[in-house]
Amino acid sequence: MNIFKETVYPLLLIIQMISCGKNSTEPSISVPVANDILVDKNATTETANLFSSMKTNAARGVMLGQQDAFTGRHVDQGGPDMTDMKMTCGQHPLVVGLDFMFITDIQNTPGSWFAEQETIIKEQARNCYQRGQIIHFTWHFRNPITYDWFSINSDPERQRIAKQCMASILPGASRHNYYKSVLQKVALVLDELKGSKGEPIPVIFRPFHEFDGNWFWWGKPYCTAEQFIENWQFTVTYLRDELDVHNIIYAFAPDNGFRSEAEYLERYPGDDYVDLVGMDNYSDFESNNIDAAAMKLNIISNYAKTHNKLAALTECGYRNNPKPHDLYTRYYLTALRTYQLELSFMMFWVNNSSNYYVPTPSESTANNFRAFANDERILLEGDIENPYKKQE
């Protein structure tokens, strides 16, 4: 999965936005009842409203999302405001994936290409908010020792360095101050994301994803559970309490390597540090193991129900070709309908010129995707009220 991601993360991860909704008109103040549930008890009104909206709508259906929907396209048609999803089914995704990777890159200096990408990403996030879409930030964080890669690619030298990375950014360690400076950059960008009335724009933040795998430097073979948990707790505490960032919903998302709730929670930092429990899952669908995918979704859905969290299929896609003609209804929709799930969203990975996760109208799976998107359980742009406003 790591090799694939680096190939589909070409030099245009400038990322996306756009959709439905009305501008927020409520002031950005705390909502004590909603905030009692959130990691951040001082979360902004819009952030608390977003959490409440996603929690409420999870009982109704699953919001559909895609990474880089407006910039990572299989067929570049229809101009910058078009997505492959809308070309195929008539609606944009409701959840839009962005990334902090270029923003926190050590090469992001004034006047650089990376600085240009930061500007574009921030503008896209603002546009997304104004149109009522939900913003989801992944973080492909370059390693804190050599700064130039985040994935291992089975490279022995990278494996050696990776075993030092997590330990190096913990409090008191050699790269801790560097890590704090990177979080300060994240905080600065989130502070600059403002709505039309100056209110901070809420985001879902999913750091250190797929940590149960061996393809990222923060993966299970390269750090202990204690180190991972300590860093997660520091990250949340530093952003929230030291840097006064109050517009984040914190998402915890391993890959699909668990088979029980106990396995899922092996590196869980605790309910005080997580708002959303998720899972990335490619391989169960690619191996036609729909029962396993559904069972794992049920684990996270049940945990969310009993612990006042959101749940989500935070990343998915079918990388094999040719793709089954009934991929979306027989694979994904079956998994969503097997149990009484309450999932806030599912997010397909980014399209590129050589592969797709959401088909264009000419692809063999287009009709099946339309049937999937038209199912009553699937929510797209325009299917819910503005999620940043208080739900009546």
For the chain, 392 residues long, give each residue's pLDDT as a single digit of tens.
443 334 333 333 333 333 333 333 333 334 445 678 999 999 999 999 999 999 999 999 999 999 988 888 888 777 778 889 999 999 999 999 999 999 999 999 999 999 999 999 998 899 899 989 999 999 999 999 999 999 999 999 999 999 999 999 999 999 999 999 999 999 999 999 999 999 999 999 999 999 999 999 999 999 999 999 999 999 999 999 999 999 999 999 999 999 999 999 999 999 999 999 999 999 999 999 999 999 999 999 999 999 999 999 999 999 999 999 999 999 999 999 999 999 999 999 999 888 999 999 999 999 999 999 999 999 999 999 899 998 76
Superfamily (CATH) of domain 2-379: Glycosidases (3.20.20.80)
Indicate the SS3 state at residue 96: strand
d(CA 76, CA 69): 11
Domain ranges of the chain: 2-379
Instruction: Name the nearest CA neighbour of 391 among 54, 32, 129, 36.
Output: 54
DSSP 222: G
d(CA 76, CA 68): 13
Structure tokens of 349?
Answer: 């990975």
Percent of residues in the chain assigned helix, strand, coil, to nearest 5: 40, 10, 50
Contact 139, 100 (CB under 8 A): yes
